Amino acid sequence: MKKLYFIYLVLAFIFNSSILSSRCFSQWQAVVLLSETSSNSVTCEESKSIASTGNFVHAVWADLRNGNSNNLNWDIYYKRSNDHGLTWSEDIQLTNEIEESFYPNIAVSNSDVHVIWMEHRSSNAGIYYKHSTDAGLTWSPDIFLVNSSTGNINFPSLAVSGSTIHLVWEDAIDGNTEIFYKRSINGGVTWDPNVRLTNNSNQSGYPRVAVSESEVHVIWTDDRYGYPNFEILYKRSTDGGVTWGEDTRLTNDPAYSSYPELAVSGSAVHVVWLDSRIASDYEMFYKRSVDGGLNWEADTPITNSGAFNLGVVASDTLVHLLWNGTPNGTTYMRSTDKGRSWSDTTCLTNSIPGNFPSMSVSDSVVHVLWSLAADMNSNSKVYYKRNPTGNVIRDIKYTLNFSVIGSNGSISATVDNNTIATGDQVIEGNDIVFAATPETGYRVKEWKLNSVVVNGNKTNSYILSNITAVAIVSVEFEIASDINNHESDEKNVELYPNPATEKVILNINNSKNEDFEITIYNITGGFVRSEKLNKNKLQINTGDLSNGLYTIAIKSNSIKEYKKLIINK
């Protein structure tokens, strides 16, 4: 940690010192010094150092006030505010060991505050945990969560939803780093066993985790496609971390993509990362999914003059970005429409970037924490800055109506995984996910938005992105059938008697001993029923069929025939 800290401390002083004062918006209030010590206090790489809920704000950092002349014995310190960051408590020491404690991460759910950190007790790196159930007033003893015989555990990341806590980290358990996961479903009292999320012969590292109710999202950097072609990969769980989907590749470019950050609000998932595809400098790129990680939109470059130390936070339709770069130091930007468009940049630290800034939002307030030394001969301090109106959610709403044209199926709609009814009002900028459910034998014919056909979409889902006006969505179904208008010319199948009454026999030339599927359609092409066949003859009961004309579809790997059948009782 010391090496990384001093690298970024030097970088802070070689950036351009020009100040674009016109971008320093007045909504951001004055910087507040948080750490009460003359020794070094630092926020750490790839760590979430600040968390908030309601009027409570919680901050953690690594501190050397109890250290020695060799810059050892870093401890974890904590501080809280109960008035949206206006005033702060005294510094609280969370760890008190002779070994180094670093990489603190904090997460909060109501009055439950959870902190993890790295520590080299007993000569091996491990992840430790403690929690508070009274908003930071009192704390549990340290709990040893993860041990590594290799001593190469790094970059833990923490997320919480209700009483369920999700933890990911990287560990060089097999000689190369892999991503691991662990959870607690009772507020940190007990923890489930470790789960390995990646398993390949290349490096998987820098994991981040975010959660929205039972949907858990994990991203990381991976070079399985050939070093040095690092890419961003993604994985999700829809049942609170019990089971996991396949790895999804989010980036696909020969350049270097790494150091991802992740945020989620409802079904909207937001990812940022550093990428070298467009310049020698690393730039921040952005990507999003509006359906919980099922589908992803294109990569979008955000910066064009270099970036590092990224952060992203999401709250309803608002997305907040934070990074270090030139010429403005620590820089902020936000979107009010879930990442479709972005505001101008705001410089938070003038021209000198803060070390490893971290961000959180609660109610209407945006909170930012970082560490910085006044000059090369000074120790680093922890600083805080707030915008009391930066997280104001727009309350403009539009009426949404949706229906089925005709019949033969149903339609439903959700906003951020919450079901809505036709006629409900939806907040401006939201994405509405529609699902069509055809009846048996039918499929989607077309979707319409405000009576205009949505070209190219015949699937069972449709996403109305960024609602900005009253909208009417409809879906129409059609018969789902590949039935020919005439009988097949092939003679592999004989059907008798025809017309039939109570039963009909199919005599099939099954020389290849294949399995068959027999499907009955009515005169309109509607599905009636299907049966499996693995014999040369099949007797089909037709006593339940009404008088009329039917089509029998007979299919195997090598045979596909259609026969007309008349029912006349």
Q: 183, 242 in Cβ contact below 8 A?
A: no
Is the dihedral angle over the CA atoms 326, 230, 160, 166 positive or is it negative?
A: negative
Reported as a single tens digit per residue, the pLDDT across 464-514 is 988 989 999 999 998 776 554 455 666 778 888 999 999 998 888 777 778
0.85 exceeded by pTM = no
Q: Hunting for tokens 């070390």 — which residue is that?
A: 355
Is the dihedral angle over the CA atoms 247, 253, 256, 260 positive or is it negative?
A: negative
Q: Which of 63, 59, 62 is nearest to 82 (CA)?
A: 59
Q: Structure tokens of 89?
A: 């408590």
For β-strands 418-420 and 442-449, DSSP reports them as unpaired
Q: Is the pLDDT of residue 6 over 50?
A: no
Residue 138 DSSP SS3: coil
The pLDDT of residue 531: 82
Reported as a single tens digit per residue, the pLDDT across 434-445 is 999 988 778 899
Across the chain, mean pLDDT equals 88
The pLDDT of residue 484: 47
The structural domains of the chain, with segments of one domain joined by +, span: 2-13+31-387, 397-479, 493-567
How far apart CA 321 and CA 360 sit, in angstroms, is 10
Q: Structure tokens of 153?
A: 């555990």
Reported as a single tens digit per residue, the pLDDT across 122-166 is 666 699 999 999 999 999 999 999 987 666 889 999 999 999 999
The pLDDT of residue 4: 36
Reported as a single tens digit per residue, the pLDDT across 233-249 is 999 999 999 999 999 99
The pLDDT of residue 355: 83
Longest dimension (CA), the chain: 101
Q: Is the pLDDT of residue 300 over 60?
A: yes
Ranking 52-56, 101-105, 279-283, 331-335 by mean pLDDT, the lowest is 279-283
Determine the length of the chain: 569
pLDDT confidence bin for 282, thresholds 50/70/90: very high
pLDDT confidence bin for 535, thresholds 50/70/90: low
**CATH 2.60.40.10 corresponds to the domain 2-13+31-387:** no
Q: 482, 461 in Cβ contact below 8 A?
A: no
CA quadruple 223, 225, 231, 235: dihedral, nearest 10: -90
The pLDDT of residue 450: 96
Compute the 3-state secondary structure of the chain and give helix, strand, coil in percent, each to the nearest 5: 5, 50, 50
The pLDDT of residue 59: 99
Q: 27, 390 in Cβ contact below 8 A?
A: yes
Residue 90 DSSP SS3: coil
245-252 — which CB contacts under 8 Å span 24+ positions?
247/198, 247/222, 248/293, 248/296, 249/225, 250/219, 250/287, 250/296, 251/275, 251/285, 251/287, 251/299
Q: Which residues pair with 325 in a beta bridge?
A: 307, 329
pLDDT confidence bin for 19, thresholds 50/70/90: very low
How far apart CA 230 and CA 258 sit, in angstroms, is 7
Return the CATH fold of 493-567. Immunoglobulin-like (2.60.40)
pLDDT confidence bin for 540, thresholds 50/70/90: confident
